[in-house]
Amino acid sequence: MSTKDFIEKDYYKVLGVPQDATEAEIKKAYRKLAREYHPDANKGNAKAEERFKEISEANDILGDAKKRKEYDEARSLFGSGGFRAGPGAGGAGSFNFDLGDLFGGGQGGGQGGGQAGAGGFGGGIGDVFGGLFNRGGGTGGARTQPRRGQDIESEVTLSFTEAIEGATVPLRMSSQQACKACSGTGDKNGTPRVCPTCVGTGQVARGSGGGFSLTDPCPDCKGRGLIAENPCDICKGSGRAKSSRTMQVRIPAGVSDGQRIRLRGKGAPGERGGPAGDLYVVVHVGSHPVFGRKDDNLTVTVPVTYPEAALGGDIRVPTLGGPPVTLKLPPGTPNGRTMRARGKGAVRKDGSRGDLLVTVEVSVPKDLPGKARDALEAYREATADEDPRAELFQAAKGA
């Protein structure tokens, strides 16, 4: 499909929707028509097949917000009823050329093309259509644009305490940067020539679909738009060389194992004035001999004696990086009970802290000195009539 036919075609009419139709209305209209004219439902019907292609083409443009915007702008600029201005139409606000002259019959918009009359458009037409379709391979095509640098991913291992409190760590990374030997030109003499295949654009067309041409990076210049006649010995003509660097990275407090941190603009540098990429740091956290972690809370298991569990009392509990806290143990505390020390956990994003979850573990001594054994024997005699398993057996019989 030619550029002219593409813009003249009323895709809104094809789908039977108004120009201000919503995305949902366009999608609904497309689905209804696609079911009606689908080739599987109209075997051998050439007209239905052609209609289905037309419907799909319209949905490809109107169903994509960016393509639809550019399509609307193009139709608004030239109108939808034709492109050739009438006789004497070179006055204010009009064009005195045919659209075919503007695009040079697909030759790429070089020096040809009529001049706009007063109040018309003296240039910039390529900018209107640049994102919608490719104008061919002539010298009037846009030069290769600035290119964003690549993203880099690196890993760092922190101690448990560093992850909770935050730390500044050295991070060594490698990335492709402008070759210093040839100043990024790829040529020994610093004077590469324009690629004849893509004429310096860095892009080549690879067929069309939906009324617009698709492009790929030029295979001859690898998308650079330039070719080195005397390739640099270091970068072999690519203009890029591997470089290592070390930077200090601040890891925020409260990071968890496996978390991925994004540092904007700290990746590989861009090309031709483009912005740098991003650096992604994957954090690995070591274990701690005493503390564990559950979301924003820290965990610790604290042993207590049987008398402490039975009679209750105050127990001291260690905290990470701070003084111990005292918790009140209620009388009759069972083994495995969890208590909470508020504000003694990991740092949250808002700066507050989670809690320290304290699990009680009743310690059973293996060896008892004589006095302690005598006291325990006396306790057993005093509670001989108590059977803590009586209810268990009763429940087992009744089940």
pLDDT in tens, 182-202: 877 788 887 788 888 888 788
Instruction: Enumerate helices (H) and strands (E) in the chain, giving the number of each.
Output: 11, 15
- What average pLDDT does this structure show over 133-137? 42
- The pair phi, psi for residue 69, each rounded to 5°, is -60, -45
Q: Which residues 6+ apart lie within 8 Å of 1 measured at CB?
A: 9, 208, 211
> Which residue is it, tokens 């379709």?
133
Tokens standing for residue 236? 């072999």
Please answer whether residues 137 and 199 qualify as being in contact, where contact means their C-beta atoms are separated by less than 8 angstroms.
yes
Full-model pTM: 0.51
Tell the burial category of 94 from Cβ atoms under 10 Å away from its Cβ (0-12, 13-18, 19+): middle
Q: Going by DSSP bridges, is the β-strand pair 240-251/152-158 parallel, antiparallel, or unpaired?
A: unpaired
Can you tell me the distance from the alpha carbon of 391 to that of 376, in angstroms, rounded to the nearest whole number?
A: 24
Distance from the Cα of residue 365 to its chain's centroid? 56
Of all residues in the chain, the percent with pLDDT exceeding 90 is 34
Instruction: Delimit the domains of the chain by residue range.
Output: 4-77, 152-174+241-285, 291-362
Domain 4-77: assigned CATH number: 1.10.287.110
Topology (CATH) of 291-362:
HSP40/DNAj peptide-binding domain (2.60.260)
Helices (H), the chain: 3-8, 11-15, 23-37, 46-62, 65-78, 99-103, 125-129, 160-165, 306-311, 370-382, 390-398
CATH topology of domain 152-174+241-285: HSP40/DNAj peptide-binding domain (2.60.260)
C-alpha neighbours within 13 Å on the C-beta side of residue 263: 18
397 vs 359, higher pLDDT: 359
Tens digit of pLDDT for each residue in 28-82?
999 899 889 988 888 889 898 889 889 988 998 899 888 888 788 777 655 554 4
- Bridge partners (DSSP) listed for residue 205: 215
> Where residue 136 falls among pLDDT bands split at 50, 70, 90?
very low
- Could you tell me which residue, 115 or 319, shows the higher pLDDT? 319
What is the pLDDT, as a whole number, of residue 212? 53
Judge if 152-174+241-285 and 291-362 fold alike in CATH terms. yes
Q: Report the amino acid identity of residue 81.
A: G
Query: Which residue, 304, 302, 290, 301, is CA-closest to 364?
Result: 304
